[in-house]
């Protein structure tokens, strides 16, 4: 014979004997019982079995939480909300003997609450699923030996080894190894991202191919994932202006319903009509109209790697009509790259090799760009025999008895080295494009030229084009760069308004200039110098939650990745949420007004009134839930 524990275990697994499950889901259980009691009451079969109407079961089980909410609203919070009006309607229905109607009101209210909870829970699943992605242990290399330890014991600076098929347990920087990593759960990117030394790695992402060694930079509550959870949790606590307006409406609807019910009673002398008015007047659908849409929108955004800190930010994003972009690190990569090569004769690689040898010991950003390009092309760079920095001009070096020069035109003019006309024309064109143009020579013989610039991010121009198609009337750019460089970048991406040579305080002033024109402004940036502008804009958007902490804290919305293509999604999602809210409000108003008229003329009674009224709540919740189901946000028109 099986022990009792073996018999109970499978039942508990199915939640039949698990008392804790019933405690946590009492609303669901009591609503089910209330529904069964109402069906029994409606059939009339109870009369031969019970002395009282089974509808009382629904009145007690589902009505008590509503009456408690109404009592707290009046006597504790001194605030008139939907619970107060529903309580009045429920008590009035009981007072005239409409027990089934009273039970039905309470039952359908609880069904609406369950639907709302279900919508919120689905919206939060994007975050809760992320938490489950974090590995419990990490393989760490310490003192030359590998050991597997709990993730909680990993410290910044530890070297973590991640094998193919394993999830990355920390935020960090790849120090060795090559692999493709699936970041879809964190950043929303659909395709795996190649990782090589120097690249960022995010906690919870899946290593697909090679072994990676990652230096931990953020652990525990400082990781990207922890910040995602924190930001979404904070967002759900903050109300949008539209939501606060709905609360105000609920406050004056209570006295309005009582006055209307009294007028109908005095006019018709029919107490049933008056009670029906109270039932259908409840603003449940109106109160649900905004919060369900806001929570669903925030959940939808989190699935796409967009963190929205508050409902107010999401609402404001839907009303934006001007966007101010930072340049460096936002529209561009924020680090110089070789964007042009010209060889006077021979191969481009020969020019790059000479420049790389000359710049090998330099710490200048331009030098790092040249060395990175040489490394990418597989060039081996020997050390120079001698090296000298020529401040403001370039570098001088020697190798194998040959003198190497890399620098601007002023350097060569000062040394009396003539620059060929072809090279000179190329330099002028490069500078007009906002590039840093360098001449390369060997033993005073010009070999060619190199153009270095902070390259545009992939998709920057397409993002600006998409925003234009969305009908945003003003797109501008602010940067600390000189006017010529700023104009070149703006022209390349399709932006016409440029604020150049901007200090951090001046960027904030640029936001004010747009606001003074009557614009609702969004600022998109990534650095410390963008923080004042992000804070002063109607909507501040920080590029990359793993980036500058100051920028992320100052912003209202943060992108987990630096994917510019997500920027249009923010504004389209905001517009979509506003449309859903307006649809909800209009639908709830139409249903309530129509039901009030029908009730006043006696066309519907308390039972039908309860059904009609609560149908509005169900419709509002279902409409908001569409925001969660949408797989992607459309940004073309």
Catalytic residues: 326
Q: How far apart are CA 449 and CA 407, in angstroms?
A: 9
Residue in 189, 227, 222, 221 with CA at minimum distance from that of residue 205: 189
Cα–Cα distance, 20 to 267 (Å, whole number): 53
DSSP 3-state assignment of 168?
coil
Distances in Å between the alpha carbon of 600 and those of 259, 262, 275, 604? 13, 11, 10, 9
What is the spatial distance between Cα 499 and Cα 474, in angstroms, rounded to a whole number? 13
Please give the torsion angle defined by the CA atoms of residues 306, 309, 313 and 317, in that order, rounded to the nearest 10 degrees: 0
Alpha carbons 30 and 36: distance in angstroms, whole number: 10
Through-space distance between the first and last CA atoms of the chain, rounded to whole angstroms: 70
SS (H, E, C) 213-243: EEEEEECHHHCHHHHHHHHHHHHHHCCCHHH
Three-point CA angle 119, 120, 124, nearest 5°: 120
Q: How far is CA 291 from CA 27, 229, 241, in A?
A: 20, 19, 11
Spatial distance between the Cα atoms of 168 and 173, rounded to a whole number of angstroms: 11
Contacts with 278 (C-beta within 8 Å, 6 or more apart), sequence order: 85, 88, 89, 92, 257, 258, 261
Q: How far is CA 605 from CA 43, 101, 517, 553, 616, in A?
A: 18, 9, 54, 54, 17
Question: Which contacts of 629-634 are long-range, i.e. CB under 8 A and separated by 24 or more positions?
Answer: 630/300, 630/576, 632/304, 633/300, 633/304, 633/569, 633/572, 633/573, 633/576, 634/572
- DSSP letters, 444-505, are TEEEEEEEEEEEEPTTHHHHHHHHHHTT--EEEEE-SS-HHHHHHHHHHHT--EEE-S--HH
492 and 461 in contact (C-beta within 8 Å)?
yes
- Give yes or no for a contact between 172 and 214, defined as CB atoms under 8 angstroms apart: yes
Sign of CA dihedral 115, 121, 126, 129: negative
Alpha carbon distance 594, 309 (integer Å):
37
Contact 161, 212 (CB under 8 A): yes
């Amino acid at each position: 014979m099986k022990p009792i524990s073996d018999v109970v275990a499978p039942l508990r697994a199915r939640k039949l004997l698990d008392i804790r499950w019933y405690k946590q889901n009492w609303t669901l259980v009591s609503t089910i019982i209330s529904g069964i009691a109402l069906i029994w009451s409606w059939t009339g079969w109870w009369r031969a079995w019970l002395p009282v109407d089974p509808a009382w079961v629904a009145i007690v089980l589902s009505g008590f939480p509503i009456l408690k909410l109404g009592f707290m609203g009046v006597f504790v919070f001194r605030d008139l909300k939907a619970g107060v009006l529903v309580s009045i309607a429920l008590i009035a229905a009981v007072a005239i003997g409409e027990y089934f109607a009273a039970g039905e009101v309470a039952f359908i209210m609880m069904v609406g609450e369950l639907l709302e909870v279900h919508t919120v829970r689905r919206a939060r699943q994007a975050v809760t699923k992320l938490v489950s992605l974090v590995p419990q242990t990490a393989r760490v290399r310490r003192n030359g030996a590998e050991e597997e330890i709990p993730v909680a014991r990993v410290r910044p600076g530890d070297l973590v080894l991640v094998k193919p098929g394993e999830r990355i347990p920390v935020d960090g920087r790849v120090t060795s190894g090559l692999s493709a990593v699936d970041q879809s759960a964190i950043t929303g990117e659909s395709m795996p991202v190649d990782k090589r030394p120097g690249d960022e790695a995010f906690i919870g992402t899946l290593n697909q191919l090679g072994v990676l060694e990652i230096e931990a930079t953020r652990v525990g509550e400082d990781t990207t994932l922890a910040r995602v959870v924190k930001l979404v949790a904070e967002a759900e606590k903050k109300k949008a202006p539209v939501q606060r307006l709905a609360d105000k409406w609920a406050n004056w609807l209570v006295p309005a319903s009582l006055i209307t019910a009294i007028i109908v009673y005095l006019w018709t002398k029919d107490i049933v009509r008056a009670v029906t008015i109270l039932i259908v007047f409840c603003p449940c659908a109106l109160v649900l109209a905004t919060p369900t849409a806001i929570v669903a929108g925030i959940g939808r955004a989190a699935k796409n790697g967009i963190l929205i800190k508050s409902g107010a930010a999401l609402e404001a994003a839907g009303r934006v009509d001007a966007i101010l972009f930072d340049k460096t690190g936002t529209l561009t990569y924020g680090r110089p790259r070789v964007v042009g090569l010209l060889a006077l004769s021979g191969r481009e690689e020969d020019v790059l090799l000479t420049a790389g040898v000359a710049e090998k010991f330099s710490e200048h950003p331009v030098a790092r760009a040249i060395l990175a390009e040489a490394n990418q092309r597989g060039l081996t760079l020997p050390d120079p025999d001698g090296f000298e920095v020529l401040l403001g001009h370039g570098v001088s070096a020697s190798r194998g008895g040959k003198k190497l020069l890399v620098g601007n035109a002023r350097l060569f003019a000062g040394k009396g080295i003539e620059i060929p006309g072809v090279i000179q024309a190329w330099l002028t064109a490069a500078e007009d494009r906002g590039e840093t143009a360098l001449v390369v020579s060997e033993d005073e013989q010009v070999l060619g030229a190199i153009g270095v610039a902070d390259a545009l991010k992939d998709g920057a121009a397409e993002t600006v084009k998409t925003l234009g198609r969305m009908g945003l009337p003003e797109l501008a750019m602010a940067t600390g760069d000189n006017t010529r460089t700023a104009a070149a970048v703006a022209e390349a991406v399709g932006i016409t308004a440029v604020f150049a040579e901007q200090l951090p305080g001046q960027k904030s002033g640029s936001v004010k200039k747009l606001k003074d024109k009557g614009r609702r402004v969004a600022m998109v940036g990534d650095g410390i110098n963008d923080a004042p502008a992000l804070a002063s804009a109607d909507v501040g958007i920080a590029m990359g939650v793993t980036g500058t902490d100051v920028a992320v804290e100052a912003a209202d919305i943060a992108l987990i990745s630096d994917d510019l293509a997500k920027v249009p999604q923010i504004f389209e999602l905001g517009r979509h949420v506003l449309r859903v809210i307006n649809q909800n409000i209009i639908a709830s108003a139409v249903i309530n007004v129509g039901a009030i008229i029908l009730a006043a003329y006696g066309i519907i009674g308390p039972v039908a009134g309860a059904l009609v009224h609560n149908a509005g709540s169900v419709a509002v919740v279902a409409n908001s839930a569409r925001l969660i189901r949408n797989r992607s946000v459309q940004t073309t028109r």
